[in-house]
Structure formats: structure tokens, C-alpha cells
Amino acid sequence: MSGQRVGVGVIGAGMISSYYLQNLVQFPDLHVVAIADLGLSRAAAAAQTFGARAMTVDELLSADDIEIVLNLTIPAAHYDVSLRILNGGKHVWTEKPIALTREKAAALNAHAASLGLRVACAPDTFLGGALQTPQREIAAGRIGTVHSALGIVQSPGPERAHPKPAFFYAPGGGPVLDMGPYYITAMVQVLGAATSVVATGSAPHATRRVRVGDAAGTEFPVSVATQNAALITFASGATATLITSYDSGVRRDQLEFYGSKATLQVPDPNHFDGDSRLTPSFDEPVTVPTRGSVWGRGVGVVDLARSIRAGTPERASGRLAEHVLDALLAIQEATESGARIMMTTTADRPEALPEAWDPTAATLG
């Protein structure tokens, strides 16, 4: 299929799928072919909205005109569904995390390699201009030698907006695995691979309550820590502090990099747009305007599709996601044990996108 645009299927027509689909249908290098969901009516409604075909999962995995399948299921299902996609002969784009254990993440990447297929994984926010611009600024030496970073993501919890929030508080959830991927990925993008973690955390509430939707008022149990503080060490010698919480009435989405010459405050790592703020150590701050694409979720699928056609590595790779998962699990394990946890994986910094990179350009047949 060299030179042709890439057919895409979606498994999972839940809340996150609309954020992807509204963008995917506007990228000419992709063709959204079909949508599948265990709820057939939900798949049919999404298919009608976005001009695709509604299919069962088996039908989608057998379709000859689909090369990449988006796995937008809940975290506990990511590994099993991704494995089915690979065994169906398709490349995988999966929502984060790539899996719930290191062993399954490694097995998924190894299985894909053995089949000549690719696994790529959210988040793709780091491909937006909001984080690509700081990556270029730091690589150009604008803040000097980077020695540390600070990430803070706090909120009252996802139940403020999500009608079915219980899975955020089950194994595979919590603010570390839910929001941590955006911050750890952005840190690895700048600082390189992590090597060790120490952390602490707690779960102040044994139960939470659904606040919106048909189930509003229903209580559900909490089985993961809902606030954590971690200190991460990187192979470069840099360190980073990451604070995550679902127990804060004050919302913060903060990421800063500290260098020998200046500090760079970057936009929310869960967003694709926004200017940075560079403050020299002994001078006034200046705004660093965002340069590059500011399209939302789905740009990683475009990069994956173009990389498949070109025979080059994709940036939001399964190996990067495996390393990010390793760090996130290390935070959870260090929280429980009080011990320093060493990384078992490594990852390269993803190559920066060209400033003129445009997901809306038609570059394939």
C-alpha cells in the first residue's frame, strides 16, 4: 500500500473517541473506515456522525482496508485488545497506558516486532507545538544545561465531568497512571530516560461519588492512591519532582524546566497549544510563542501512518510508552514500599518534528 493514505479503524466509541475522531476525519493522510464497540448502538451513532461504517470487533479486524486500529478501550483492556489487533495483522495506536504491567508492555512490543507491525501509544500531546517549541528551545541551549524539572497536576478528580469515573480509581487508574503519562513523556522528551524513583502518596477517601450523568450520587470504592509526590532521577543526572492529585480543590497543570541560565515554564502537557515563558536567572521573563502544529489528539496517528509509509520510526512509540509505564509503576511501587525503585527499561528522546510539520497536509497518495 506504499504511497496510499492509511485506513484507520477505531475500537471503543466512548467519551475519548470523539476527541480523536473529530480530528482524524480532517487529516487527508488517514481514512477513518470503521468504528466498533461492545455497545453496537454506540458504534452506529459514532459511525454515522463521522462518516464511517459500524462494525463488530471481529469484522473490523478482518477488514482489508484498515491498517491502523485505535484501541480506545479502558486501561484494563488495553493489552488484550492490542494483542487482538496485532494478531489481526494491524498496527496499533492505543490510549495510555500501553498496558498495566511491565511484562505485558514488553510482550506487546516484542510480539509486534516479531510480526513486522508497530505499536504506538498516547499521549501524542508532546507532538503539539506547545511542547515541541520548548524541546527545540532547550536543544538550542536557550536555558543552558537542564538540571531539574517540576510537574504538578492537581484537581478534585475526573468525576467532576465523567459520567462513569469508577475505572479512574481502580487498578490501572489513579492520577499517576491517568495524568502522569503526559508529564513523564514531556520530561523524557527533554531530559532523556529515567533511571530511578522515590515517592510517597495516600488515598484520603475510601469511596468517591459519581457527580454527573444518570448515576449521579452513586458511590464507588477507591483502590489506588489518589495523591502522590515523586522524585525522579534521569540518566543525564537531572532530577524532576512530579506531584499528582485527585484531592485538590485548586486545579494546577504546571510543568517547568530549570537550566543553568534560565527557567522555562511550558503549557499544560495535556494540551497541544499555548506559549511558553522563559525567565533568565537575573533578567525579566519573555514569552516564547508556540511554533508548529497545534492540532489535538490524533496527530500521533498521522505521524505513525507517515512513518509506516516512509519506513522510519514513529515518535510516540511503544518503546517510549513502555519506559513511561515503567516510571509510572515505579512511582506506585515506591509509594507502597518506601524504597527507591530502579527503572528496568530505557528510551531515546523522540526526535523533534520539523517546525512546518502539518497533519492536514496530504502527503500520501
- Let me know whether 83 and 148 are in one domain: no
Q: Which residues contact 234 (CB under 8 A, 6 or more apart)?
A: 187, 191, 192, 193, 194, 195, 240
End-to-end alpha carbon distance in the chain: 10
Tally of structural domains, the chain? 2
- Let me know whether 146 and 271 are in one domain: yes
Which structural domain, as residue segments, surrounds residue 64?
Answer: 6-124+297-314
Does residue 67 form part of some domain?
yes
CA distance 66 to 84: 14
pLDDT in tens, 166-178: 999 998 789 999 9
- Let me know whether 130 and 252 are in one domain: yes
Contact predicate 303/156, CB 8 Å? no
pLDDT in tens, 73-128: 998 999 999 999 999 999 999 999 999 999 999 999 999 999 999 999 999 999 99
Does residue 303 form part of some domain?
yes
Residue 312: count of CB within 10 angstroms of its CB: 11
Q: Which residues contact 195 (CB under 8 A, 6 or more apart)?
A: 233, 234, 235, 342, 343
What's the CATH number where 142 sits? 3.30.360.10
pLDDT in tens, 331-365: 999 999 999 999 999 999 999 999 999 999 999 97
CA distance 101 to 171: 11
